[in-house]
Amino acid sequence: MPTLSPKATDQRKRLDQFLSQAFPEQTRSQIQKWIEEQRVLLDGKPAKAGYKLRGQEQIEVSLPEAKSIALLPEAIPLNIVYEDAELAVIDKPAGLVVHIGAGVHQGTLVNALLHHFQSLSQSGDTNRPGIVHRLDKQTSGLLVVAKNDQSHVHLARQFHSRSVTKRYLALVHSRMTKPSGEIRSAIGRDRTNRLRMSTRAARSRDAHTEYQVLESFQRFSLLRLTIKTGRTHQIRVHLSSIKHPVVGDTLYGAPARMTFSVGKQTRPTLGRNFLHAAFLQFQHPKSQELMSFSSDLPQDLSQFLDQIRELESS
């Protein structure tokens, strides 16, 4: 049962708003349902969703039991960039799903974490121990994992308040006309294809992405991207919406194959999305120290980029 202690900066916040920040993986309606079911105790007593915090209460949350799937430790190799008693920073490879879900019951990052670490946070979904934020299956790069509930809540609040800095590298189709820019298009579930997100959804949430062109080619652009929000597939959807889909991202409009005519016909292929979480900065939940981590492009992406450079210079 997680116990939360609001700070002075939380004064005047509604109880349901505060809990939504503490449990960002839950919808506001789900949080309100917890309160109605008296799963939330304020100084030991049931409270109302609209209660305005004073900043010194003790809030106990009795999390509902999720339909639990047997989570088994698996000896999956991990690149652990940093580890202490509170958290770990992982450099996730492409192809590794973060947690179990529809049709995926093993072989995930969670299974690997259970093998490598003695304890993980249980705050939030019991099927996702330690998971504070996610990366898509075909996205590589940096991800922070919480080892206990207190650290999970602290880190989750940073993500919700948008104080975490996340930067990505992406190769996109077509040459960008501007050296830098931003995309502010709300994102929601696609009305016809439930696997996709869209900037033209019936129900959507604000999303903000900034980009800078690092290198330009005749048919591609290498970008550094900073996301100010953390919507599902945000970078992929935003870049596709301005006609610059991420290379390899066939779900959002990128071609499955690319043909270059340089002497002999050459077909460079990439079996994943060219998207890498290259930089992560957050405040340590215990020491309050500002921590920064960087990750170079993995070998498959750097080799593909070198191939593009060679073909276009021929």
- The catalytic site residues sit at 136
How far is residue 35's CA from residue 38's CA, in Å, rounded to a whole number? 5
| H-state helical runs in 247-286 | none
With tokens 């996301």, the residue in question is 227
DSSP states of 63-116: PPPP-------------EEEE-SSEEEEEEPTT--SS-BTTB-SSSHHHHHHHH
How far is residue 110's CA from residue 78's CA, in Å, rounded to a whole number? 11
How far is residue 16's CA from residue 166's CA, in Å, rounded to a whole number? 27
How far is residue 215's CA from residue 110's CA, in Å, rounded to a whole number? 35
Nearest to 158 by CA among 87, 212, 102, 242: 87
DSSP states of 169-195: EEEEES--SSSEEEE---BEE-SS-TT
Residues found in the chain: 314
